[in-house]
Every structure is written in structure tokens, then in C-alpha cells.
């Protein structure tokens, strides 16, 4: 009996269950100063990582980004007006907040950015919820709300003064807990209901086996799936492998679907033993996809063309993709250098704020404190990174390009669907970062600064 129990336990540990779907509703606010030709404030709302509305200080109105939001506004006629009002209030509050921070830290000129992200999550299987509310300043985490202890956490000593003041306002903390755990969750469920055909759909992944060089790991690449709660792993003789396996992150595609890769190092495995291996892809709502490690199915880029999973011949597209990425990278680096020189050549401090129209579920944080108030802007990046700041600026810029009559400047507004290309934008953001660093180093060499 003990042996049977042990075997049963091992089977349970080794078995994969399809991950439950955890839905999310987030808002992002961004206000900046010292950046010309950008909105002072931008706010964005996201549900399940899909943008559904947008607001900036140039247009001063909420713009819907999904067709299913039209029905919601018909059922709630005051939605747009109410959210525009909340966003305008946040715009005014955060503009004062960033100026207060600059004074506190004795900062003048240059580029500064203050951001907030808040929202909630809901598990559609066990019905558990979670919430978060965090602020960032100049690309670093500034202060974070602990929902369990109802206290503010200051990752940096610069935020200790703010923590002391906010911790004293117990009434606000209780209201914020109610919003994050109840009001926000109710609105999340409402968005899921209106956008069911989009947000609760299931799209089957396409699975390919890839190998860059004969000595490289074999990559099991799944793409085009939705939602993002996919499980991908390698098996040998029916048993899951844990060694020599490298799991990649789930990444967004331009069309709102996702992709992921899992590498398998076969350096010590004879090719004749490859057929003992298979890649397994699991997604809720569909049968497991099993792809045997057949050399004939492996697509390579060293002069051979493998067969696709459907038996058709698929030509190798790695080279053109690499060429395209290099062109994008070089262009973005040039943009980074240009932005750096332009920024350092100007001593003006024009403000730029990025905030989304607060949805009806978003509460205005009315307070006299220096940093509180306003709507949150949701994004794909972490508040604690410089990439988030560049991402928001790119988003706002794209919005202006799409609506030239709204603002007199050009920009790049962040949008997952249908115009935005998240993976390309991520490359651009990283490259612009490189350009900024390279531009600064070049200028220091030219001026003799150390």
C-alpha cells in the first residue's frame, strides 16, 4: 500500500494541469516634465493586457479602443463623461505631484517622470482576487500599497516622507482596499461580459520545432494562442524532462495572441534517439498538442528547409527577420541619440503627462498630499524600469500620429490592437535606451566631461 501511495504521489507531482485563467483590470497614469512635443498626461486602461480606452492632456477626452466598449457606453451613457472628468482631475493632481517631487529632491530642468499603476485580478476557477497600487518616479519604484497590511511600503528612502503621511490616513487605505477587492473586480467582470467574444475566446496555437545550428538546442515554439495561460514542456519516453530544458517567457504578438518557446539541449543525445522526445502544449479548452522530435520536422537556418507540422514545406524566414530587426535596431538607436542631444540642448521644462481616462470603476483619490490623486495608466512594463517611461512616451506619440488633428505634435501611442506591434515596440524601446546611453557617452567624449 505504501508503494502504491508513493507511485500515486509521484504521478500527481509529475502531471501538468492546465493553468486557470487569471483575468486582470489595470490602469496606468504617467505625467512627465521636460519632454517637448508629448502630452503632459496620459492614462490607459487595460483588461487582460488589452487596451480598452485612452486619455491624454492634449485631447482631454476619453477614447474607446475596443468595439465592444460601444455597447457598454450605450448601457451606461455617462461612462465617457465620467471617465473624462476623472482623468482630468488626475491630470491636474499629478502635474502638481511631479512639481512637488522636483522641489523635494531639489531638481530643476532635465526630464522627469511620475507614474502610477493600479488594478485587480480575478481567478475564474477558485474566484480568488488580488489588487495592487504602486507608484514610480524617474524609472524607479517609489511607493507601493500592501493590501494585506494596509500600509505603504517605501523601497527608497526618498519616499519615506510620503509613506509617513499616507500611513496616517487610515480612511483612505480602507476605501482603497474596498476599491481594489470589490469595485475593481466588479468592473473587471463587467468588461469580461461585454468583451466575451474577444477576452474569453480560445485560439489554438501553432507549434514548430526550430534549431539555429546543428549544435544549438531544439526550440519548441508555440504561437498564435489565446489566452496566455499555456503550458509547454518536453517529454522523453512519456516522462517530463526538467534537466537541459530552458523555459522562455510568454510574449505578446501584434494581433493580441501570444507566443512562447521552450528549449531542449540535445548536445549529448544521438540523433537516432531524438524520436524518444516530444513537445507537449496544453491550453484550456483544447486537446494536448503533441509534436514528436522528428528531424524531418525541425526547421533550421543552415541551408536546409524542414517540413511543417502539417506536412507542407515551410521556407526558412529567419534571415529576412534578422535583417528587419537589425534595420529597426539601427533606426531606433539613431532616434535615441537624437532624443538625447535634443533633450540636453534644451533648458526648457515643458510637462508631459500620460494618463488614461479613469473608467467608472476608477476612484479619484482626492487628497491634499503631494502625490495622491488621479487615474492610473496601465501598461505592459514594470514601473521600476526606465523602459516603462520610454514605452509610455512611444504610446502617447503613436496616438498623436493616429489623430493629427488632436495635437500639433507627433508621437507614438501604445496600443496592442490593431495598430500597435508590441514586440517591435519592445525592440525599439530597448534600442532607444541603447541610443540614449551611447549618445550621452559620445557627447561626454566630445566635451571632455567625465
Q: Helices 318-344 and 422-447: crossing angle, nearest 10°?
A: 50
Element (H, E) at 318: helix 318-344
Q: What is the distance between the alpha carbons of residues 247 and 88, in angstroms, rounded to a whole number?
A: 43
One domain for residues 190 and 230: no
pLDDT at 303 over 80: no
pLDDT at 274 over 50: yes
Structural domain boundaries enclosing 263: 206-322
Determine, yes or no, domain membership for 14: no
Confidence of residue 332 (pLDDT cuts 50, 70, 90): low
pLDDT digits (tens, 9 = 90+) for 357-385: 333 333 333 333 334 333 333 333 344 33
Q: What is the pLDDT of residue 326?
A: 58
Q: What is the distance between the alpha carbons of residues 54 and 52, in angstroms, rounded to a whole number?
A: 7
pLDDT digits (tens, 9 = 90+) for 313-328: 344 444 545 555 555 5
One domain for residues 84 and 182: yes
Between 221 and 406, where is the model more confident? 221
Q: How many domains does the chain have?
A: 2
One domain for residues 313 and 253: yes
Backbone angles phi, psi at 227, to 5 degrees: -75, -170
Q: What is the pLDDT of residue 110?
A: 85
State the cell numbers at 404: 493629427
Residues 109, 113, 118: CA angle, nearest 5 degrees:
160
One domain for residues 34 and 174: yes
One domain for residues 293 and 402: no
pLDDT at 299 over 90: yes
State the cell numbers at 395: 504610446
Lowest mean pLDDT among 19-23, 48-52, 145-149, 246-250: 19-23
Lowest mean pLDDT among 82-86, 203-207, 241-245, 300-304: 300-304
Q: Are 176 and 145 within 8 A, CB to CB?
A: yes
**What mean pLDDT comes out for the span 169-183?**
96
C-alpha distances out from residue 193 to 47, 72, 196, 389, Å: 12, 10, 5, 32
One domain for residues 113 and 250: no
State the cell numbers at 212: 539555429
Bridge partner list, 116: 29, 135
One domain for residues 229 and 295: yes
pLDDT at 83 over 50: yes
Length of the chain: 450
One domain for residues 74 and 144: yes
Counting residues of the chain whose pLDDT is more than 70, the rounded percentage is 63
CATH number of the domain encompassing residue 184: 3.30.500.10
CATH number of the domain encompassing residue 244: 2.60.40.10
Q: What is the distance between the alpha carbons of residues 256 and 198, in angstroms, rounded to a whole number?
A: 10
Peptide bond into 378 cis (omega under 30): no
One domain for residues 64 and 173: yes
Q: What is the distance between the alpha carbons of residues 97 and 92, in angstroms, rounded to a whole number?
A: 9
One domain for residues 50 and 186: yes
Strands 140-146 and 151-153: antiparallel
Q: What is the distance between the alpha carbons of residues 247 and 234, in angstroms, rounded to a whole number?
A: 10
Tell me, rounded to whole angstroms, the distance of Cα 316 from its chain centroid.
30
Between 223 and 374, where is the model more confident? 223
Determine, yes or no, domain membership for 2: no
Determine, yes or no, domain membership for 399: yes
Confidence of residue 289 (pLDDT cuts 50, 70, 90): very high
Amino acid at each position: 500500500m505504501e508503494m502504491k501511495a508513493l507511485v500515486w504521489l509521484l504521478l500527481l507531482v509529475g502531471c501538468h494541469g492546465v493553468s486557470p485563467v487569471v483575468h486582470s483590470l489595470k490602469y496606468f497614469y504617467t505625467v512627465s516634465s521636460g519632454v517637448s512635443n508629448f502630452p503632459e498626461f496620459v492614462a490607459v486602461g487595460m483588461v487582460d493586457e488589452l487596451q480598452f480606452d485612452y486619455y491624454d492632456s492634449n485631447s482631454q477626452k476619453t477614447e474607446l479602443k475596443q468595439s465592444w466598449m460601444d455597447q457598454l457606453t450605450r448601457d451606461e451613457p455617462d461612462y465617457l463623461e465620467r471617465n473624462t472628468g476623472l482623468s482630468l482631475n488626475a491630470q491636474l493632481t499629478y502635474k502638481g505631484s511631479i512639481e512637488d517631487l522636483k522641489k523635494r529632491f531639489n531638481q530643476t530642468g532635465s526630464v522627469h517622470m511620475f507614474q502610477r499603476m493600479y488594478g485587480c485580478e480575478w481567478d475564474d476557477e477558485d474566484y480568488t482576487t488580488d489588487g495592487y497600487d504602486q507608484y514610480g518616479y524617474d524609472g524607479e519604484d517609489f511607493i507601493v500599497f500592501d493590501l494585506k497590511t494596509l500600509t505603504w511600503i517605501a523601497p527608497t528612502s526618498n519616499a519615506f516622507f510620503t509613506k509617513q503621511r499616507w500611513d496616517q490616513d487610515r480612511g483612505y487605505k480602507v476605501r482603497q482596499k474596498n476599491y481594489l477587492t470589490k469595485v475593481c473586480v466588479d468592473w473587471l467582470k463587467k468588461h469580461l461580459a461585454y468583451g466575451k467574444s474577444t477576452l474569453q475566446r480560445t485560439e489554438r496555437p501553432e507549434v514548430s520545432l526550430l534549431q539555429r545550428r546543428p549544435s544549438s538546442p531544439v526550440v519548441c515554439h508555440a504561437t498564435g494562442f489565446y489566452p496566455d495561460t499555456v503550458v509547454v514542456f518536453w517529454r522523453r519516453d512519456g516522462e517530463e524532462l526538467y534537466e537541459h530544458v530552458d523555459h522562455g517567457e510568454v510574449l505578446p504578438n501584434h494581433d493580441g495572441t501570444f507566443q512562447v518557446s521552450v528549449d531542449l539541449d540535445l548536445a549529448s543525445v544521438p540523433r537516432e534517439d531524438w524520436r524518444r522526445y516530444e513537445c507537449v502544449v496544453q491550453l484550456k479548452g483544447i486537446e494536448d498538442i503533441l509534436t514528436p522530435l522528428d528531424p524531418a520536422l525541425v526547421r533550421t537556418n543552415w541551408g536546409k528547409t524542414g517540413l511543417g507540422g502539417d506536412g507542407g514545406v515551410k521556407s526558412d524566414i529567419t534571415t529576412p527577420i534578422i535583417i528587419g530587426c537589425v534595420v529597426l535596431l539601427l533606426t531606433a538607436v539613431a532616434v535615441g541619440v537624437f532624443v538625447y542631444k535634443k533633450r540636453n540642448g534644451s533648458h526648457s521644462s515643458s510637462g508631459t503627462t500620460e494618463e488614461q481616462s479613469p473608467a467608472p470603476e476608477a476612484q479619484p483619490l482626492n487628497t491634499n498630499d503631494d502625490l495622491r490623486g488621479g487615474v492610473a495608466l496601465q501598461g505592459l512594463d514594470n514601473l521600476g524600469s526606465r523602459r516603462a517611461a520610454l514605452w509610455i512616451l512611444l504610446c502617447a506619440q503613436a496616438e498623436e500620429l493616429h489623430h493629427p488633428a488632436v495635437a500639433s505634435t507627433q508621437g507614438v501611442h501604445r496600443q496592442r490592437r490593431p495598430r500597435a506591434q508590441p514586440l517591435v515596440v519592445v525592440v525599439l524601446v530597448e534600442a532607444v535606451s541603447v541610443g540614449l546611453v551611447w549618445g550621452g557617452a559620445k557627447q561626454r567624449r566630445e566635451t571632455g566631461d567625465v
